[in-house]
């Protein structure tokens, strides 16, 4: 009888854990972004917190409970905010609020119309297109202060504009003409910005789309409203949002072109500057905080109502854009034909 030697069992190898593609990228991203976040905290978050704190104090000379003059900052709570909306200060605030809103609405509407027209012109292929593009973008390249000085010379009593219209208008005095001069100068300066962003959106539209529309018999207006505008909407909304935020903070153009302490052109930024210039830092910080809240609310409402995809959130939610995940595969698996396999899911009759 032969006895066979026992065969040694081979060690079972554990399956190697599959390494995920995004494993460890979160920590690496945090490390790479930390310098930027620190800089943003120093130049954005810290000034906001400092302004909020300063708005709760009142600096300068004041009387204490015993009637003695005290120099320094005094805690006043929300008094600076309450003083904004009452008395002569309240009238001045609402006037500045109206001017800020007026300039934002009128200038942005005009700039959008002219910017889209400029983009359509720059997008066309014709001889000398490079010169036309350069001449359109020149106003945007000029600094705002220089632009304000140029327009101030144009709008002088003996300036070019009065010579063209053949009448004598004092554009730098308080009144409707001062508002009109700000609207003209701001539209001339920043309409090319919207045109540049819309031009970038136009260049992403395939030419085949326009060829198909032409074959189907679509005229120029239908092509513009049904193809061009919907396809450039993301770029156009972002450009309009940037212009709204910039115009809400308008300061340098009316300050240089017309001047300070003019009721017809005084904005919230000019009001805050005037308070700070007169060493009333508490009320100035309160005005700046109210303006900050106003800008934040307008930006939020614009994004929510019109759907401006500023940070690519809409693209991330689309299938294949990084936001689909298992839910998208499961949803498409239900739509698949029986017996077909989508990912790891077999629908109806498959093994």
For the segment 41-57, what is each residue's pLDDT rounded down to a tens digit? 998 889 889 888 888 88
Give residue-wise pLDDT tens across range 71-102. 667 787 888 888 888 877 889 999 999 999 99
List all residues 6 or more positions away from 186 whose beta carbon is below 8 Å from its beta carbon.
103, 107, 111, 247, 250, 253
Cα–Cα distances (Å) from 339 to 327, 328, 347, in that order, read 20, 19, 5
pLDDT, tens only, 253-277: 999 999 888 899 999 999 999 998 9
Q: What's the confidence (pLDDT) of residue 325?
A: 43
Distances (CA, A) of 96 to 56, 264, 267: 22, 8, 4
Residues 249, 144: Cα–Cα separation, whole Å: 13
Contact of 162 with 110, CB cutoff 8 Å: no
**Amino acid 304: pLDDT:** 86
Cα gap 336→350, rounded to integer Å:
12
User: What is the structure's pLDDT at 239?
Assistant: 92
- Whether residue 324 is predicted with pLDDT greater than 70 in this model: the reply is no
Asked if the model's pLDDT at residue 327 lies above 70, the reply is no
Name the least confident of 146-155, 271-280, 306-315, 325-334: 325-334
Cross-strand partners of 157:
none
Paired sense of beta strands 57-58 and 341-342, if any: unpaired
Q: For residue 229, which phi and psi values (nearest 5 degrees)?
A: -60, -45
Residue 307 banded pLDDT, cuts 50, 70, 90: low
- Of 245, 292, 296, 255, nearest to 284 by C-alpha is 292
Q: How confident is the model at residue 9 (pLDDT cuts 50, 70, 90)?
A: low
Please state, in angstroms and rounded to a whole number, the distance separating the CA atoms of residues 182 and 144: 12
């Amino acid at each position: 009888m032969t006895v066979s030697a026992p065969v040694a069992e081979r060690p079972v190898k554990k399956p190697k854990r599959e390494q995920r593609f995004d494993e460890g990228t979160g920590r690496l991203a945090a490390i790479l972004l930390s310098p930027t976040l620190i800089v943003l905290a120093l130049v954005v978050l810290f000034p906001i917190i400092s302004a909020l704190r300063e708005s709760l104090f009142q600096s300068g000379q004041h009387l204490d409970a015993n009637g003695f003059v005290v120099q320094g900052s005094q805690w006043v709570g929300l008094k600076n905010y309450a003083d904004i909306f009452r008395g002569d200060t309240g009238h001045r605030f609402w006037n500045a609020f109206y001017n800020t809103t007026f300039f934002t609405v009128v200038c942005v509407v005009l700039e959008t119309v002219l910017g889209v027209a400029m983009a359509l012109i720059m997008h066309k292929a014709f001889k000398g297109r490079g010169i036309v593009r350069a001449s359109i973008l020149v106003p945007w390249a000029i600094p705002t202060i220089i632009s304000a000085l140029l327009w101030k010379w144009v709008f002088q009593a003996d300036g070019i504009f009065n010579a063209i219209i053949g009448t004598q208008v004092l554009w730098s005095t308080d009144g409707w003409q001062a508002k009109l001069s700000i609207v003209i100068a701001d539209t001339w300066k920043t309409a090319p910005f919207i045109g540049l962003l819309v031009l970038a959106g136009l260049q992403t539209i395939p030419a085949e789309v326009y060829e198909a529309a032409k074959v189907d018999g679509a005229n120029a207006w239908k092509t513009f409203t049904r193809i061009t505008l919907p396809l450039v909407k993301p770029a156009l909304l972002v450009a309009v949002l940037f212009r709204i935020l910039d115009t809400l903070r308008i300061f340098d153009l009316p300050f240089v072109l017309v001047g300070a302490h003019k009721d017809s052109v005084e904005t919230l930024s000019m009001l805050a500057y005037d308070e700070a210039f007169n060493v009333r830092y508490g009320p100035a910080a309160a005005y700046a905080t109210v303006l900050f809240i106003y800008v934040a609310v307008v930006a939020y409402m614009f994004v929510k109502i019109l759907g401006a995809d500023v940070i690519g959130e809409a693209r991330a939610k689309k299938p294949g854009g990084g936001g689909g995940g298992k839910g998208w595969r499961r949803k498409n698996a239900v739509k698949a034909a029986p017996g077909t396999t989508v990912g790891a899911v077999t629908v109806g009759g498959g093994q």
